[in-house]
Amino acid sequence: MAYKTRLSRRTFAAGSLVAVTGFPNIVRGQTREIFVGGPASPGLTDILFPVIERKHNMKILFEGTNSLINLEKIRANKARPTMTVTMMDDPVLVLAEREKVIRKLPADITNLADIPAAAKPRDAMWVNWCQPMCSFSYNTRALPQGLASYNDAWDRKFRERIIMISMRITQAVAPLVAAAAYATKKPLDQALKEWGAGIERLKELRPNVIQVSSNAPQAQQLLETGECDLYMAPDSRTTLFRKAQGAPVDQGMPKEGVLAMPAGVALVEGGPNQDLGVAFINEMLNPETQALIARTFWSKPTNAKTVLPQGVSFPELVALDWEFFADNRNAMIERFEREVSSR
């Protein structure tokens, strides 16, 4: 039996209008989005984020850049924040807290309970989702055994064989602290406050340095192709990730110690979809996800309940006073560029 349609043109038009205006919202309602700013580390967008997206039915819009530029973007949008979560180094998060652009992590992030206090700085204003290792990276074809000590880099045999990263990038603290430790005979964790002596020592390294670069991917590429033997200093997120992909590079394990780079994650004050931000951070701290982080980013997980994947281990890492570093960073950049980088 056939039914006669009683759809009037007016009803059809009204229905079409609802469909056209409402449909995108329905679709958006199914998969909500958050905007995350963070480092341009390999493995984030292709390995870690898809896992979180699937598990929490969210879409992560990511912008990778260095921490200081990330902070500048948050600051510029302070009146109307667009970013929900920011992933930055601790020294930059110190500045973000002072400028009140991040908010204290709420108790809804239940995995915070399993994170040691040292990894939840400033009463959980942010949390370290992992601790990448930072020392130096070397080309394994040129140096199959690596270097036993940071001090070996000053050897004349490395003349024009070293690329240094600019002091504008946090990882540059590794050669500075190593130089200060040598000059003052103090352990790495106490040598940071003697950074002036470190600058003096780094000046002696200049004949060995072919370039001081602000472009980490380019420096990494030149290390891998043998244009230089040593790169001071990317962290394990880059070096061991590339090693796992077959690049002829390895992370230095000098006798003085390896630094813990504090990779932090925080909620942006007033950012949209805070509930998704909470779910995102909680997932980053989940022991299973932390195990994935350990083998993807070759970085020490911070959740005490994490079971490390087979074949993955970490030495005891040296923690620095990042607040001191944040307070003195501009002076370090200025002296480094005038006395170490310049012609």
Q: Which residues bind other proteins (CB under 8 A)?
A: 68-69, 72, 160, 166, 168, 210-215, 218, 221-222, 225-227, 330, 333-334, 337-338, 341-343
Shortest separation between residue 229's beta carbon and other proteins, angstroms: 12
Please report the sign of the dihedral spanned by the C-alpha atoms of residue 118, residue 121, residue 123, residue 127.
negative
Q: Which is nearer to other proteins, 57 or 221 (CB)?
A: 221
CB of 218 to other proteins, least distance (A): 6
The residue to which tokens 């043998």 are assigned: 226
Q: 171 or 289, CB closer to other proteins?
A: 171
Residue 138 sits at φ, ψ, to 5 deg, of -135, 155
Tell me which H or E stretch contains 109: none
Q: Which is nearer to other proteins, 144 or 226 (CB)?
A: 226
**Cα angle value 10/15/17 (rounded, 5°):** 95
Return the number of other C-beta atoms located less than 10 Å from residue 43's C-beta. Answer: 19
Judged by CB, which is closer to other proteins: 68, or 308?
Answer: 68
Minimum CB separation of residue 210 from other proteins in Å reads: 5
SS3 (DSSP) at 120: coil
Q: How far is the CB of 166 from other proteins (least distance, A)?
A: 6
**What's the sign of the alpha-carbon dihedral 316, 331, 208, 233?**
positive
Phi, psi dihedrals of residue 279, rounded to the nearest 5°: -65, -40
> Which of 70/302 has CB closer to other proteins?
70
User: H helices of the chain, where?
Assistant: 9-30, 49-56, 67-76, 90-98, 121-124, 173-184, 188-191, 195-203, 216-224, 236-244, 274-285, 287-297, 322-336
Q: Least Å distance between CB 136 and other proteins?
A: 18
d(C-alpha 335, C-alpha 330), whole Å: 9
Question: Any idea what DSSP says for residue 307?
Answer: P
Nearer to other proteins, 114 or 227 (CB): 227
Q: Write down the least CB distance from residue 222 to other proteins, Å.
A: 7
Sheet holding 162-165, edge to edge: 209-213, 162-165, 230-232, 137-139, 249-251
Q: Which is nearer to other proteins, 166 or 296 (CB)?
A: 166
User: Least Å distance between CB 247 and other proteins?
Assistant: 15
3-state SS class at 165: strand
Q: How far, in Å, CA of 118 to CA of 122, rounded?
A: 9
Q: Is 313 or 342 the residue whose CB approaches other proteins more closely?
A: 342
Smallest distance from other proteins to CB 137, Å: 17
**Is the preceding omega at residue 233 within 30 degrees of 0, hence cis?**
yes
Cβ closer to other proteins: 39 or 277? 39
Q: How far is the CB of 33 from other proteins (least distance, A)?
A: 27
